[in-house]
Chain A
Protein backbone atom coordinates (compact mmCIF):
# COMPACT_ATOMS: atom_id res chain seq x y z
CA UNK A 1 0.00 0.00 0.00
CA UNK A 2 2.75 2.43 0.96
CA UNK A 3 4.73 1.77 -2.20
CA UNK A 4 1.60 2.40 -4.23
CA UNK A 5 1.11 5.69 -2.43
CA UNK A 6 4.70 6.75 -3.07
CA UNK A 7 4.22 5.99 -6.75
CA UNK A 8 0.96 7.96 -6.75
CA UNK A 9 2.61 10.96 -5.12
CA UNK A 10 5.54 10.80 -7.55
CA UNK A 11 3.12 10.58 -10.47
CA UNK A 12 1.15 13.56 -9.19
CA UNK A 13 4.34 15.54 -8.62
CA UNK A 14 5.63 14.94 -12.13
CA UNK A 15 2.22 15.76 -13.58
CA UNK A 16 2.26 19.07 -11.72
CA UNK A 17 5.77 19.81 -12.96
CA UNK A 18 4.72 19.05 -16.52
CA UNK A 19 1.76 21.41 -16.17
CA UNK A 20 4.03 24.14 -14.83
CA UNK A 21 6.52 23.69 -17.62
CA UNK A 22 3.81 23.78 -20.25
CA UNK A 23 2.10 26.94 -19.09
CA UNK A 24 4.64 28.76 -17.00
CA UNK A 25 1.67 29.91 -14.94
CA UNK A 26 -1.28 28.11 -13.43
CA UNK A 27 -4.63 28.86 -15.00
CA UNK A 28 -7.39 30.64 -13.06
CA UNK A 29 -9.27 27.33 -13.15
CA UNK A 30 -6.34 25.55 -11.43
CA UNK A 31 -6.10 28.25 -8.76
CA UNK A 32 -9.83 28.10 -8.11
CA UNK A 33 -9.69 24.31 -7.83
CA UNK A 34 -6.81 24.49 -5.36
CA UNK A 35 -8.53 26.94 -3.04
CA UNK A 36 -12.19 26.13 -3.28
CA UNK A 37 -12.49 23.46 -0.57
CA UNK A 38 -10.98 25.85 1.92
CA UNK A 39 -13.24 28.70 0.78
CA UNK A 40 -16.37 26.53 0.75
CA UNK A 41 -15.62 25.41 4.30
CA UNK A 42 -16.07 28.99 5.57
CA UNK A 43 -19.45 29.70 7.15
CA UNK A 44 -21.45 31.91 4.83
CA UNK A 45 -19.68 30.91 1.60
CA UNK A 46 -22.08 29.03 -0.68
CA UNK A 47 -20.40 29.10 -4.07
CA UNK A 48 -17.11 29.57 -5.87
CA UNK A 49 -17.07 30.08 -9.61
CA UNK A 50 -15.36 31.77 -12.53
CA UNK A 51 -16.81 35.02 -13.84
CA UNK A 52 -15.78 38.29 -15.39
CA UNK A 53 -15.28 41.81 -14.09
CA UNK A 54 -16.85 44.85 -15.77
CA UNK A 55 -13.98 44.95 -18.30
CA UNK A 56 -14.40 41.29 -19.20
CA UNK A 57 -11.31 40.09 -17.33
CA UNK A 58 -11.53 36.69 -15.63
CA UNK A 59 -12.20 36.73 -11.90
CA UNK A 60 -12.82 34.14 -9.19
CA UNK A 61 -16.27 34.85 -7.75
CA UNK A 62 -17.05 33.89 -4.17
CA UNK A 63 -20.75 33.74 -3.45
CA UNK A 64 -21.81 34.54 0.12
CA UNK A 65 -25.17 33.92 1.69
CA UNK A 66 -25.83 37.47 2.91
CA UNK A 67 -24.32 40.93 3.05
CA UNK A 68 -22.97 40.51 6.60
CA UNK A 69 -20.47 37.88 5.46
CA UNK A 70 -18.74 40.27 3.06
CA UNK A 71 -17.43 42.20 6.08
CA UNK A 72 -17.14 39.48 8.74
CA UNK A 73 -15.33 36.86 6.67
CA UNK A 74 -11.61 37.16 6.10
CA UNK A 75 -11.88 36.58 2.38
CA UNK A 76 -8.90 37.09 0.07
CA UNK A 77 -8.84 39.98 -2.42
CA UNK A 78 -6.80 37.91 -4.83
CA UNK A 79 -5.55 34.36 -5.15
CA UNK A 80 -2.07 33.91 -6.65
CA UNK A 81 -2.44 37.10 -8.73
CA UNK A 82 -5.97 36.39 -9.92
CA UNK A 83 -8.58 38.91 -8.73
CA UNK A 84 -11.35 37.74 -6.40
CA UNK A 85 -14.86 39.25 -6.40
CA UNK A 86 -17.59 38.75 -3.78
CA UNK A 87 -21.22 38.49 -4.56
CA UNK A 88 -24.22 38.07 -2.31
CA UNK A 89 -26.00 35.07 -3.86
CA UNK A 90 -28.43 34.30 -1.03
CA UNK A 91 -29.44 30.81 0.09
CA UNK A 92 -29.47 28.54 -2.93
CA UNK A 93 -32.29 26.03 -2.85
CA UNK A 94 -33.43 23.24 -5.11
CA UNK A 95 -36.53 24.61 -6.83
Chain B
Protein backbone atom coordinates (compact mmCIF):
# COMPACT_ATOMS: atom_id res chain seq x y z
CA UNK B 1 0.00 0.00 0.00
CA UNK B 2 2.68 2.49 1.06
CA UNK B 3 4.64 1.58 -2.00
CA UNK B 4 1.67 2.32 -4.26
CA UNK B 5 1.27 5.73 -2.63
CA UNK B 6 4.97 6.50 -3.07
CA UNK B 7 4.72 5.51 -6.73
CA UNK B 8 1.71 7.83 -7.22
CA UNK B 9 3.46 10.71 -5.45
CA UNK B 10 6.65 10.35 -7.47
CA UNK B 11 4.64 10.20 -10.67
CA UNK B 12 2.59 13.26 -9.73
CA UNK B 13 5.72 15.29 -9.06
CA UNK B 14 6.70 14.69 -12.68
CA UNK B 15 3.30 15.14 -14.26
CA UNK B 16 1.41 17.73 -12.20
CA UNK B 17 2.40 20.67 -14.41
CA UNK B 18 1.12 18.92 -17.46
CA UNK B 19 -2.16 17.98 -15.72
CA UNK B 20 -2.68 21.53 -14.45
CA UNK B 21 -2.31 22.86 -18.00
CA UNK B 22 -5.52 21.07 -19.01
CA UNK B 23 -8.59 23.29 -19.17
CA UNK B 24 -10.65 23.27 -15.98
CA UNK B 25 -8.07 21.49 -13.76
CA UNK B 26 -7.46 23.66 -10.66
CA UNK B 27 -5.54 21.26 -8.37
CA UNK B 28 -3.79 17.88 -8.39
CA UNK B 29 -2.97 15.54 -5.54
CA UNK B 30 -2.67 11.94 -4.40
CA UNK B 31 -5.64 10.31 -2.68
CA UNK B 32 -7.83 7.22 -2.62
CA UNK B 33 -9.98 6.77 -5.69
CA UNK B 34 -13.73 7.17 -5.17
CA UNK B 35 -15.91 4.75 -7.14
CA UNK B 36 -19.72 4.97 -7.06
CA UNK B 37 -19.51 7.47 -4.23
CA UNK B 38 -17.40 5.20 -2.00
CA UNK B 39 -13.76 5.54 -1.13
CA UNK B 40 -11.69 2.58 -2.36
CA UNK B 41 -8.28 1.41 -1.14
CA UNK B 42 -6.68 2.33 -4.46
CA UNK B 43 -4.22 5.25 -4.38
CA UNK B 44 -4.83 7.52 -7.33
CA UNK B 45 -3.88 10.86 -8.81
CA UNK B 46 -6.79 13.20 -8.17
CA UNK B 47 -7.47 16.09 -10.48
CA UNK B 48 -9.78 18.75 -9.04
CA UNK B 49 -11.81 20.57 -11.67
CA UNK B 50 -13.74 23.78 -11.39
CA UNK B 51 -16.76 22.18 -13.05
CA UNK B 52 -17.40 18.63 -14.28
CA UNK B 53 -18.26 18.68 -17.97
CA UNK B 54 -19.08 15.84 -20.39
CA UNK B 55 -15.92 14.37 -21.94
CA UNK B 56 -17.44 14.93 -25.39
CA UNK B 57 -17.28 18.72 -24.92
CA UNK B 58 -13.54 18.67 -24.19
CA UNK B 59 -10.78 18.54 -26.75
CA UNK B 60 -8.65 15.36 -26.38
CA UNK B 61 -5.68 17.33 -25.06
CA UNK B 62 -7.80 18.63 -22.13
CA UNK B 63 -9.19 15.22 -21.11
CA UNK B 64 -7.71 13.72 -17.95
CA UNK B 65 -6.59 10.18 -18.93
CA UNK B 66 -8.07 7.19 -17.04
CA UNK B 67 -4.61 6.33 -15.81
CA UNK B 68 -1.06 7.65 -15.92
CA UNK B 69 1.75 5.09 -16.24
CA UNK B 70 -0.46 2.50 -14.57
CA UNK B 71 -1.67 4.73 -11.71
CA UNK B 72 -5.44 5.36 -11.85
CA UNK B 73 -6.73 8.93 -11.90
CA UNK B 74 -9.86 10.46 -10.43
CA UNK B 75 -11.65 13.70 -11.23
CA UNK B 76 -13.56 15.62 -8.55
CA UNK B 77 -15.44 18.90 -8.78
CA UNK B 78 -14.27 21.54 -6.27
CA UNK B 79 -15.34 24.82 -7.85
CA UNK B 80 -12.89 27.68 -8.11
CA UNK B 81 -10.37 27.65 -5.28
CA UNK B 82 -9.82 31.04 -3.66
CA UNK B 83 -7.44 32.15 -0.96
CA UNK B 84 -9.34 32.59 2.29
CA UNK B 85 -8.93 36.29 2.70
CA UNK B 86 -9.10 37.85 6.13
CA UNK B 87 -11.78 40.58 6.39
CA UNK B 88 -9.04 42.93 7.60
CA UNK B 89 -7.32 42.76 4.21
CA UNK B 90 -7.59 45.02 1.17
CA UNK B 91 -10.42 44.10 -1.20
CA UNK B 92 -10.99 45.49 -4.70
CA UNK B 93 -13.74 45.18 -5.52
CA UNK B 94 -14.86 45.29 -1.88
CA UNK B 95 -17.77 43.24 -0.53
CA UNK B 96 -19.64 43.81 2.73
CA UNK B 97 -18.15 42.28 5.87
CA UNK B 98 -14.65 43.76 5.46
CA UNK B 99 -12.64 46.41 7.30
CA UNK B 100 -13.43 50.03 6.55
CA UNK B 101 -13.10 53.36 8.31
CA UNK B 102 -12.86 57.13 8.25
CA UNK B 103 -9.28 58.34 8.05
CA UNK B 104 -9.27 59.36 11.74
CA UNK B 105 -10.74 56.20 13.33
CA UNK B 106 -9.36 52.69 13.93
CA UNK B 107 -11.52 50.31 11.90
CA UNK B 108 -15.09 49.09 11.58
CA UNK B 109 -17.04 47.01 9.11
CA UNK B 110 -18.35 47.81 5.64
CA UNK B 111 -21.94 46.63 6.17
CA UNK B 112 -23.18 46.27 2.63
CA UNK B 113 -23.72 48.21 -0.58
CA UNK B 114 -26.99 50.13 -0.87
CA UNK B 115 -28.42 52.76 -3.21
CA UNK B 116 -29.29 56.42 -2.83
CA UNK B 117 -30.58 58.33 -5.82
CA UNK B 118 -29.47 55.52 -8.12
CA UNK B 119 -25.89 55.64 -6.83
CA UNK B 120 -24.04 52.85 -4.98
CA UNK B 121 -23.17 53.70 -1.38
CA UNK B 122 -21.28 51.96 1.41
CA UNK B 123 -23.53 51.55 4.45
CA UNK B 124 -21.91 51.51 7.90
CA UNK B 125 -22.11 53.41 11.19
CA UNK B 126 -21.65 57.12 11.86
CA UNK B 127 -18.89 56.21 14.33
CA UNK B 128 -17.10 54.21 11.61
CA UNK B 129 -17.50 56.47 8.56
CA UNK B 130 -18.11 59.87 10.19
CA UNK B 131 -15.99 59.59 13.35
CA UNK B 132 -18.97 60.09 15.72
CA UNK B 133 -20.11 63.42 14.16
CA UNK B 134 -16.56 64.81 13.90
CA UNK B 135 -16.11 64.19 10.17
CA UNK B 136 -16.97 66.45 7.28
CA UNK B 137 -18.83 65.44 4.16
CA UNK B 138 -16.29 64.48 1.49
CA UNK B 139 -13.73 63.09 3.97
CA UNK B 140 -11.76 60.05 2.75
CA UNK B 141 -12.97 56.56 3.68
CA UNK B 142 -10.31 53.84 3.70
CA UNK B 143 -10.56 50.10 2.99
CA UNK B 144 -9.08 48.52 5.01
CA UNK B 145 -9.48 50.95 7.93
CA UNK B 146 -6.40 52.71 9.40
CA UNK B 147 -5.94 50.09 12.18
CA UNK B 148 -5.67 47.41 9.48
CA UNK B 149 -2.89 49.33 7.69
CA UNK B 150 -5.24 51.21 5.36
CA UNK B 151 -3.50 54.44 4.35
CA UNK B 152 -4.46 57.64 2.58
CA UNK B 153 -4.51 58.04 -0.39
CA UNK B 154 -3.58 54.51 -1.56
CA UNK B 155 -6.42 52.71 0.20
CA UNK B 156 -9.12 55.33 -0.15
CA UNK B 157 -12.24 53.63 -1.53
CA UNK B 158 -14.90 56.28 -1.00
CA UNK B 159 -15.83 59.70 0.35
CA UNK B 160 -18.23 60.36 3.21
CA UNK B 161 -21.58 61.21 1.60
CA UNK B 162 -23.96 61.67 4.55
CA UNK B 163 -24.53 60.66 8.17
CA UNK B 164 -27.20 60.81 10.84
CA UNK B 165 -25.96 62.94 13.73
CA UNK B 166 -25.71 61.11 17.05
CA UNK B 167 -27.30 63.17 19.83
CA UNK B 168 -25.32 63.15 23.06
CA UNK B 169 -27.02 64.60 26.16
CA UNK B 170 -25.38 67.48 27.96
CA UNK B 171 -23.17 68.09 24.97
CA UNK B 172 -23.91 71.63 23.93
CA UNK B 173 -22.16 70.96 20.66
CA UNK B 174 -24.66 68.24 19.84
CA UNK B 175 -21.68 66.06 19.10
CA UNK B 176 -18.21 67.22 18.35
CA UNK B 177 -18.27 69.39 15.27
CA UNK B 178 -19.95 72.46 16.63
CA UNK B 179 -23.56 71.99 15.56
CA UNK B 180 -25.90 73.02 18.36
CA UNK B 181 -29.15 72.01 16.63
CA UNK B 182 -29.87 69.05 18.93
CA UNK B 183 -29.78 71.24 22.01
CA UNK B 184 -32.30 73.66 20.55
CA UNK B 185 -34.78 70.83 20.02
CA UNK B 186 -34.31 69.62 23.59
CA UNK B 187 -34.90 73.15 24.83
CA UNK B 188 -38.21 73.47 23.03
CA UNK B 189 -39.42 70.10 24.33
CA UNK B 190 -38.65 71.24 27.86
CA UNK B 191 -40.61 74.46 27.41
CA UNK B 192 -43.67 72.57 26.11
CA UNK B 193 -43.46 70.10 29.00
CA UNK B 194 -43.22 72.94 31.47
CA UNK B 195 -46.24 74.54 29.85
CA UNK B 196 -48.19 71.33 30.45
CA UNK B 197 -46.91 71.10 34.02
CA UNK B 198 -48.16 74.62 34.64
CA UNK B 199 -51.65 73.88 33.33
CA UNK B 200 -51.89 70.72 35.41
CA UNK B 201 -50.75 72.60 38.48
CA UNK B 202 -47.85 70.24 38.97
CA UNK B 203 -45.34 71.19 41.59
CA UNK B 204 -42.56 69.38 39.77
CA UNK B 205 -41.18 71.29 36.88
CA UNK B 206 -39.18 69.46 34.26
CA UNK B 207 -35.66 70.72 34.31
CA UNK B 208 -33.59 70.99 31.20
CA UNK B 209 -30.73 68.79 32.38
CA UNK B 210 -33.05 65.91 33.25
CA UNK B 211 -34.59 65.91 29.80
CA UNK B 212 -32.30 64.36 27.28
CA UNK B 213 -31.89 65.61 23.80
CA UNK B 214 -33.76 63.74 21.12
CA UNK B 215 -33.21 60.01 21.45
CA UNK B 216 -31.37 58.29 18.64
CA UNK B 217 -32.76 55.65 16.30
CA UNK B 218 -29.66 54.91 14.27
CA UNK B 219 -25.87 55.15 14.22
CA UNK B 220 -25.60 55.28 10.44
CA UNK B 221 -23.62 56.84 7.62
CA UNK B 222 -23.03 56.31 3.91
CA UNK B 223 -20.00 56.79 1.68
CA UNK B 224 -19.84 57.17 -2.11
CA UNK B 225 -17.26 54.99 -3.90
CA UNK B 226 -14.60 56.70 -5.98
CA UNK B 227 -14.92 54.03 -8.67
CA UNK B 228 -17.95 51.94 -9.64
CA UNK B 229 -15.68 48.93 -10.31
CA UNK B 230 -14.74 48.79 -6.60
CA UNK B 231 -18.34 47.84 -5.74
CA UNK B 232 -18.97 44.14 -5.01
CA UNK B 233 -22.64 43.95 -4.04
CA UNK B 234 -22.43 40.88 -1.84
CA UNK B 235 -21.35 40.14 1.74
CA UNK B 236 -18.27 38.06 2.57
CA UNK B 237 -19.29 34.53 3.70
CA UNK B 238 -22.99 35.37 3.26
CA UNK B 239 -23.59 36.20 -0.40
CA UNK B 240 -26.07 38.57 -1.96
CA UNK B 241 -28.73 40.42 0.01
CA UNK B 242 -32.22 39.17 -0.90
CA UNK B 243 -34.32 42.15 0.19
CA UNK B 244 -35.20 43.68 3.54
CA UNK B 245 -37.42 42.48 6.37
CA UNK B 246 -38.59 43.56 9.79
CA UNK B 247 -36.99 41.56 12.61
CA UNK B 248 -39.23 40.07 15.32
CA UNK B 249 -38.58 38.45 18.67
CA UNK B 250 -36.92 35.11 17.94
CA UNK B 251 -35.74 35.96 14.41
CA UNK B 252 -32.54 34.01 13.65
CA UNK B 253 -29.88 36.43 12.46
CA UNK B 254 -26.33 36.39 11.08
CA UNK B 255 -23.64 38.87 10.22
CA UNK B 256 -20.19 39.04 8.65
CA UNK B 257 -17.87 41.46 10.42
CA UNK B 258 -14.28 42.71 10.42
CA UNK B 259 -13.34 41.16 13.79
CA UNK B 260 -15.40 38.04 14.44
CA UNK B 261 -16.25 37.19 10.82
CA UNK B 262 -19.40 35.17 10.25
CA UNK B 263 -21.51 34.71 13.39
CA UNK B 264 -25.12 33.84 14.11
CA UNK B 265 -27.58 34.75 16.83
CA UNK B 266 -31.20 35.39 17.66
CA UNK B 267 -33.24 38.52 18.37
CA UNK B 268 -33.83 38.27 22.14
CA UNK B 269 -35.41 41.70 22.72
CA UNK B 270 -37.22 44.26 20.59
CA UNK B 271 -38.28 47.83 21.32
CA UNK B 272 -35.10 48.23 23.31
CA UNK B 273 -34.18 51.59 24.82
CA UNK B 274 -30.49 51.52 25.65
CA UNK B 275 -27.66 53.80 26.80
CA UNK B 276 -24.54 53.30 24.69
CA UNK B 277 -21.05 54.50 25.62
CA UNK B 278 -18.96 56.25 22.98
CA UNK B 279 -15.34 56.48 24.00
CA UNK B 280 -14.77 57.05 27.69
CA UNK B 281 -17.25 59.76 28.64
CA UNK B 282 -20.03 60.12 26.11
CA UNK B 283 -23.30 58.22 26.40
CA UNK B 284 -26.08 58.33 23.83
CA UNK B 285 -29.56 56.91 24.28
CA UNK B 286 -31.09 54.83 21.50
CA UNK B 287 -34.71 53.69 21.17
CA UNK B 288 -36.45 51.06 19.02
CA UNK B 289 -33.35 48.86 18.95
CA UNK B 290 -32.97 45.11 18.54
CA UNK B 291 -30.92 43.11 21.04
CA UNK B 292 -29.20 39.82 20.21
CA UNK B 293 -26.80 37.76 22.30
CA UNK B 294 -23.00 37.86 22.12
CA UNK B 295 -22.29 37.74 18.38
CA UNK B 296 -19.85 40.63 17.92
CA UNK B 297 -16.75 42.41 19.19
CA UNK B 298 -15.08 45.78 18.70
CA UNK B 299 -14.50 46.37 14.97
CA UNK B 300 -17.69 44.56 13.94
CA UNK B 301 -19.59 47.86 14.04
CA UNK B 302 -21.33 48.58 10.80
CA UNK B 303 -22.00 44.91 9.98
CA UNK B 304 -25.18 44.22 8.08
CA UNK B 305 -27.48 41.87 10.00
CA UNK B 306 -29.54 39.43 7.92
CA UNK B 307 -32.23 36.86 8.61
CA UNK B 308 -32.06 33.21 7.50
CA UNK B 309 -33.45 34.15 4.09
CA UNK B 310 -30.61 36.61 3.53
CA UNK B 311 -32.93 39.57 4.02
CA UNK B 312 -31.37 42.65 5.59
CA UNK B 313 -32.93 43.38 8.99
CA UNK B 314 -30.44 45.61 10.79
CA UNK B 315 -27.19 47.49 11.22
CA UNK B 316 -24.96 46.33 14.09
CA UNK B 317 -23.41 49.17 16.10
CA UNK B 318 -22.86 48.33 19.76
CA UNK B 319 -22.66 45.60 22.35
CA UNK B 320 -21.19 44.20 25.53
CA UNK B 321 -19.76 40.82 26.53
CA UNK B 322 -23.34 39.56 26.75
CA UNK B 323 -25.22 41.45 24.05
CA UNK B 324 -25.21 42.90 20.56
CA UNK B 325 -27.27 46.01 19.76
CA UNK B 326 -28.69 46.48 16.28
CA UNK B 327 -30.49 49.39 14.56
CA UNK B 328 -33.62 48.36 12.70
CA UNK B 329 -32.94 48.56 8.95
CA UNK B 330 -36.32 50.31 8.43
CA UNK B 331 -35.07 53.22 10.55
CA UNK B 332 -31.67 53.25 8.80
CA UNK B 333 -33.18 53.32 5.31
CA UNK B 334 -35.77 55.95 6.30
CA UNK B 335 -33.29 58.31 7.92
CA UNK B 336 -30.83 58.28 5.00
CA UNK B 337 -33.33 57.73 2.19
CA UNK B 338 -31.77 54.44 1.07
CA UNK B 339 -32.83 51.41 -0.92
CA UNK B 340 -31.11 48.16 -1.81
Contacts and interface: CB of A to CB of B under 8 A. Distances in A.
A78 B196 CA distance: 29
Interface string B300-329: 110000000000000011111111010000
A40 B323 contact: no
Given A49-B291, A92-B318, A5 B272 contact: no
B277 A9 contact: no
Contact of B273 (A4, A40, A87): A40
Interface string A1-28: 1101110110000000000000000000
Contact of A94 (B200, B269, B277): B277
A52 B250 contact: yes
Most buried by B among A4, A5, A36, A87: A5
Contacts of B228: none
Contacts of B103: none
B320 A92 contact: yes
A92 B199 contact: no
**A-side binding surface: helix, strand, loop or mixed?**
mixed
Interface string A37-53: 00011000011111110
A92 B249 contact: no
Given A48-B273, A94-B125, A5 B320 contact: no
B189 interface: no
Nearest to B301: A95
A90 interface: yes
B274 A46 contact: yes
Contacts of B125: 94
Given A49-B270, A49-B272, 4 more contacts: A32-B271, A63-B291, A92-B318, A94-B301
Interface of A: 1-2, 4-6, 8-9, 29, 32, 36, 40-41, 46-52, 61, 63, 87-95
